[in-house]
Chain A
Amino acid sequence: MPVLLGVGCFGSWESTGYHELMIRPLLTGLATTFRYMFKPKVTVNYPEQKVPVFPKYRGKQVLMRDENGLEKCVACGLCSVACPADAIYLEPAENDGTVLAGPRYAKVYQIHNTRCIFCGFCEEACPVSAIFMGKDYELAVYSKDEFIWDKHDLLVPPPAGATPPALAVS
């Protein structure tokens, strides 16, 4: 009769007292689990409860405004050049005075959600502290068109009463 491989492993099951050997680790495991039932929980019910993020957290970028409500970005393009993932596209433009921005601003400012690796190089590179890594990390969208964040998504809303430069001068 051919010897079947593998049978030998289980042949000595009864004789070596495997049953006794298995009970102790089982009790150790159950005791460990049982001990943790009376300790504070380390998990949170995520969508309802949220873990606070640390101050340096690098989430979705935010484009800042200055104290007059004008866009800080001067469209130098250093963030776009520093970006390791080539995720930033911007088009500079001269401000004719009707936009809440400085004399030179970014007419188009886009960050590609799926390209961005949240390394924070844009924040480090910005010489006018216009872009910051925000705290928003819930970035799922329903459509692929929403993967591109433009100024509408990134720019903080203007404060009440902020006026464009041309109107402020006159």
Chain B
Amino acid sequence: MPELRTETMTVNMGPQHPSTHGVLRIVLELDGEVIQSVMPTIGYLHTGIEKTAEQKKWQQVVPLVERMDYLGAQSNSLAYALSVEKLLGLEIPQRVTDIRVLIAELQRIASHLGWLGTHGLEIGAVSMLFYAMRERELLMNINELVAGFRFFPSYIRIGGLREDLPRGFHEAVTAFLDRFPAKIDEFEGLLTKNDMFRRRTEGVGVISQDDALAWGLLGPIARAAGSDYDVRRYFPYLSYDRYDFTVPTATEGDVFARYRVRVAEMRQSVGICRQAIARITPSGPWACDDPRVVPPPKDKVYTEMEALIQHFLIYSQGFTVPAGDGYVPVEGPRGEHGAYVVSDGTNRPWRIKMRAPSLMAIQALPVLARGGLIADLVAVIGSADVVMGDCDR
């Protein structure tokens, strides 16, 4: 009888694998079905947006940074706008802040829906994709209503918003908020109470709270492991301290705990959206009144010479930002998300560095997946909720 061969096997997964959330390549070392080591290879979606942004004027960067984390687009532009506004020292009207809170929370729901659908699909609950995408479509429609673009509205601008809210905005958002909690119940009926789903996810990809924080997984992954760190709570930006919400946490740190935390976050976001929509008046300021940064309204541009000159100045030369650096973290859908912005006092950024939660999640994949079965790796990657555009930038 020949000797049983016992060497490990190296398997390449991706970058065209359907369940690696884009172009993530993973080199696995397997001992039978048990994962010995995981080596993620990133860079297949490198777009050079951070470098490109250095050639652009400050306000031109907004639509570019939105294309990094394409599932949570407005989390990027919010982080960027807040950092630049901190450098500029702008006073943002309360109505704009409330609208931004609403947009950010709707974006969180949209991103979590995208995650829920694909995560369910990869684990085997194929119909989850259809149900989640159906709800996400309504949020895409709200984006289209607000700014005319479904994925990258670039509605959040430096100094305020792109334009005022359109007619019918309150109705559209309220209709979604009225409908959505029942749909979350439906999702939970399909997954949370599903024994097959639980057996695929419970006890899989466990990470401890200390490990999660040490690997920089500040976000749903750390909160599923017992941490209560939420930027909205610890460093309230956008007057989140005036909103009533709880930070969902779990202690198990496995895939199922991450699932529960994200679903509970969607419920909390619905609550925050309700508070925000009640505070937003149908009309009012949609940008700060700093003429250096915010272009004059179009009707004045057509009729007044001073406004036309100011309009030309802002769109051709842009505005200068005082030299210095700023970092305002926001709680993005994937965790702490922030733009570290360095200015040398000119009309173009000297450097923009995004703190990308997906990069942290990918570099922690070896910790999450080591010792597990190869069949569980897909569940682990899905629960990490990585977006390769965010990771590679």
Interface residues of A (CB under 8 A from B): 2, 4-6, 21-22, 24-25, 28-29, 32-33, 42, 53-58, 76, 78, 81-82, 84, 117-121, 124-125, 127-129, 133
CA distance A2 to B154 in the complex (A): 60
Given the known A-B contacts A55-B166, A56-B145, A57-B148, are A124 and B195 also in contact in the complex, defined by CB atoms under 8 Å?
no
Provide the residues of chain B in CB contact with A82, threshold 8 Å: 60, 315-316
CA distance A2 to B5 in the complex (A): 12
Between A and B, 15 residue pairs with Cβ closer than 8 Å are: A6-B32, A21-B196, A25-B196, A28-B193, A54-B148, A56-B148, A56-B166, A58-B149, A76-B312, A78-B315, A84-B63, A117-B63, A119-B152, A120-B148, A121-B63
CA distance A79 to B320 in the complex (A): 20
The answer to whether B189 touches A32 (Cβ under 8 A) is: yes
CA distance A42 to B125 in the complex (A): 20
Interface residues of B (CB under 8 A from A): 4, 31-34, 56, 60-61, 63-64, 67, 125, 127, 131, 134, 137, 141, 144-149, 152, 154, 162, 166, 186, 189-190, 193-197, 295, 298, 301-302, 308, 311-312, 315-316, 373
Provide the residues of chain A in CB contact with B145, threshold 8 Å: 54, 56
The answer to whether A4 touches B148 (Cβ under 8 A) is: no
The answer to whether B152 touches A117 (Cβ under 8 A) is: yes
CA distance A42 to B141 in the complex (A): 13
Known: A84-B63, A125-B315. 13 other contacts (CB 8 A): A2-B4, A4-B32, A21-B195, A22-B195, A28-B194, A32-B189, A42-B137, A84-B64, A117-B152, A119-B63, A120-B149, A121-B60, A121-B63
The answer to whether B127 touches A33 (Cβ under 8 A) is: yes
Provide the residues of chain A in CB contact with B56, threshold 8 Å: 84
One of A6, A29, A33 near B373 (C-beta < 8 A): A6
Provide the residues of chain B in CB contact with A56, threshold 8 Å: 144-148, 166
Within the complex, the shortest CB–CB distance from B147 to chain A, in Å, comes to 6
Give 10 nearest A-B pairs by CB, closest first: A56-B148, A25-B194, A84-B60, A119-B63, A58-B148, A21-B195, A125-B315, A82-B315, A54-B144, A81-B316
CA distance A6 to B32 in the complex (A): 9
Specify which of A29, A33, A118 lies most central, judged by the most chain B CB atoms within 10 Å of its CB: A29
Provide the residues of chain A in CB contact with B197, threshold 8 Å: 25
CA distance A53 to B141 in the complex (A): 9
Provide the residues of chain A in CB contact with B148, threshold 8 Å: 54, 56-58, 120, 133
Provide the residues of chain B in CB contact with A25, threshold 8 Å: 190, 193-197
Provide the residues of chain B in CB contact with A127, threshold 8 Å: 301-302, 308, 311-312
Within the complex, the shortest CB–CB distance from A88 to chain B, in Å, comes to 13
The answer to whether A124 touches B295 (Cβ under 8 A) is: yes
Provide the residues of chain A in CB contact with B34, threshold 8 Å: 5-6
Provide the residues of chain A in CB contact with B31, threshold 8 Å: 5
CA distance A76 to B32 in the complex (A): 67
- In this complex, what residue of B is CB-closest to A77? B316
CA distance A82 to B127 in the complex (A): 44
CA distance A29 to B316 in the complex (A): 57
- In this complex, what residue of B is CB-closest to A29? B190
Within the complex, the shortest CB–CB distance from A163 to chain B, in Å, comes to 26
Given the known A-B contacts A28-B193, A84-B63, A129-B302, are A54 and B127 also in contact in the complex, defined by CB atoms under 8 Å?
no
One of A2, A32, A84, A121 near B127 (C-beta < 8 A): A32
The answer to whether A5 touches B33 (Cβ under 8 A) is: yes
Within the complex, the shortest CB–CB distance from B347 to chain A, in Å, comes to 12
Within the complex, the shortest CB–CB distance from B308 to chain A, in Å, comes to 6
Within the complex, the shortest CB–CB distance from B316 to chain A, in Å, comes to 5
CA distance A118 to B147 in the complex (A): 11
- In this complex, what residue of B is CB-closest to A42? B134
